[in-house]
Structure 1
Amino acid sequence: MSAALTGSGSDPALPADLVEVGHVAEAFGVRGGLKIQPYSAQSEALLGSRAWWLRKGTEVRRIEVADAKRHGAVVTVAFPGVSDRDQALAWKGWTVLVPRSQFPRLAEGEFYWVDLIGCTLTGKNDSDQEVVLGTVSEVSDNGVHAILHVACVEPVAPGQPTQPLLDARGRQRETLVPFVDAYIRGVDLDARRIDSDWPEGF
């Protein structure tokens, strides 16, 4: 593992806004290339950043990225000083992080999944009144569109205290909401809120 690297897990110079965007899945070819598996269908953050941070356990290293490109569902990349397959395989399993501030700007109406996580989701009750349904805990992709995984709460009016909505086993319920125009009315990242027409209890 001979790439020119800097940084450590306790380095105060590490960016405060690092976001996990993927992991090293495998070597690519015989000349030191690597396959990166993105954590979402959006790979712009990987492709648009000149430097990545790689983490394994408590160790964090900074790498200058060369020749990152999409290759099907993965991103292929070359690291400085990594010139053969064995060197590339030494990176397998490392997590890839990129500062949120380096993410490329998206078009109006487009959002990075990481920005949706933690947002409050509102919906409609039987009286067509707006209620809080829960908090987005994860975003996934079904191959057609993004899916919001929502940790449900007892429905209340926006601004009121919330309590987790539990199932029969005492676990917090989760609902899956398609992130499509048919259900989503608006996203306000500043307010950390997503308004939808998703029905209460669905």
Structure 2
Amino acid sequence: MSDSASNGAPVGNSLPQDLVEIGRVLGAYGVKGWVKIQPYSADAAALLTARQWWLKAPVPPGKSGALSHPQITRVVSAKKHGSAVVAQLAVIPDRDRAEASKGYTIWVPRASFPKADPDEFYWVDLVGCRVMGVDGEGNSALIGQVMEVSDNGAHGLLHVARAEDDGQGGLALLLNEKGRTQEVLVPFVEAHVHNVDLSKKLLESNWPVDL
């Protein structure tokens, strides 16, 4: 898959340092080369407003690092289609190329995201935040750190890796008996997460620490 200055998309090896993965190509849409995108967030504003996307091919099994350099393309048009987004891209001229792009991931610079409303947050900004909950006595206590945010169809879910303070200002992740990170799912809704301070990378909730 390639693009060139002739279709309005600059090409080069220099990548923005703040690229964020925000969606995945599901396949072709229609017969004119449009593609159907599954956004990773219920709010697809970043997909709809960015004029350029970076497309990254899936890496074949056993080929770590191969075909992993994102390719920039101009977004000719993009619009909501139910829970998905459909788009016409300069780099994809026909249905065959659209079908061949299935599985590609879509990346845009974080700096290009529209400004969020005061009570709204981009999920990418929640990753890495500490999550506080309450212990059995109702006191604030650390649950862990957000590793991922997903959508269960009704609201966001924080995938929190259990952790404890390492005594040096950082966190030490807690592992289970199989050596895997212990995970807690915390609903990202106002009833449970009552304070979000992105400047401190801190979320405060009433979620039980020992659940």
Give TM-score, length-normalised by structure 2. Answer: 0.85
Matched position secondary structure for 2:116? coil
Matched position secondary structure for 1:88? helix
Tell me, in whole angstroms, the C-alpha distance in 1 between the residues paired with 2:152 and 2:175. Answer: 26
How far 1:164 sits from its partner (Å)?
Answer: 2.6
1:18-41 CA-partner distances (Å, limit 9, x unpaired): 100112210111111111111222
Tell me, in whole angstroms, the C-alpha distance in 2 between the residues paired with 1:90 and 1:161. Answer: 44
**Equivalent residue runs for 1:49-60 within 5 Å:** 49-56=50-57, 57-60=67-70
**Equivalent residue runs for 1:128-167 within 5 Å:** 128-154=138-164, 162-167=171-176
**Cα contact 1:130–1:158 (8 A) shared by 2:** no
Matched position secondary structure for 1:166? coil
Tell me, in whole angstroms, the C-alpha distance in 2 between the residues paired with 1:120 and 1:200. Answer: 13
Tell me, in whole angstroms, the C-alpha distance in 2 between the residues paired with 1:66 and 1:17. Answer: 23
Letter in 2 for 1:184: V
1:91-127 CA-partner distances (Å, limit 9, x unpaired): 2222110010111112111001111111100111122
**Equivalent residue runs for 1:52-201 within 5 Å:** 52-56=53-57, 57-80=67-90, 82-154=92-164, 162-201=171-210
Tell me, in whole angstroms, the C-alpha distance in 1 between the residues paired with 2:38 and 2:177. Answer: 36
Partner of 1:24: 25
Gaps of 5+ in 2: 58-66
How far 1:49 sits from its partner (Å)?
Answer: 0.6
User: How many residues of Structure 1 are paired with residues of Structure 2 in the alignment?
Assistant: 198
Partner of 1:7: 11
Matched position secondary structure for 1:45? helix
Give TM-score, length-normalised by structure 1. Answer: 0.88
How far 1:89 sits from its partner (Å)?
Answer: 2.0
Tell me, in whole angstroms, the C-alpha distance in 1 between the residues paired with 2:172 and 2:19. Answer: 30
How far 1:170 sits from its partner (Å)?
Answer: 3.4
Mean Cα deviation higher: 77-86 or 101-110: 77-86
Tell me, in whole angstroms, the C-alpha distance in 1 between the residues paired with 2:29 and 2:171. Answer: 48
How far 1:137 sits from its partner (Å)?
Answer: 0.8
Tell me, in whole angstroms, the C-alpha distance in 1 between the residues paired with 2:126 and 2:46. Answer: 15
Q: Closer, same or farther in 2 for the Cα pair 1:161/1:61, shift >3 Å?
A: closer
Aligned alpha-carbon RMSD (Å): 2.2
Q: Closer, same or farther in 2 for the Cα pair 1:161/1:85, shift >3 Å?
A: closer
Matched position secondary structure for 2:111? helix
Tell me, in whole angstroms, the C-alpha distance in 2 between the residues paired with 1:126 and 1:81. Answer: 56
Letter in 2 for 1:107: D
How far 1:188 sits from its partner (Å)?
Answer: 0.7
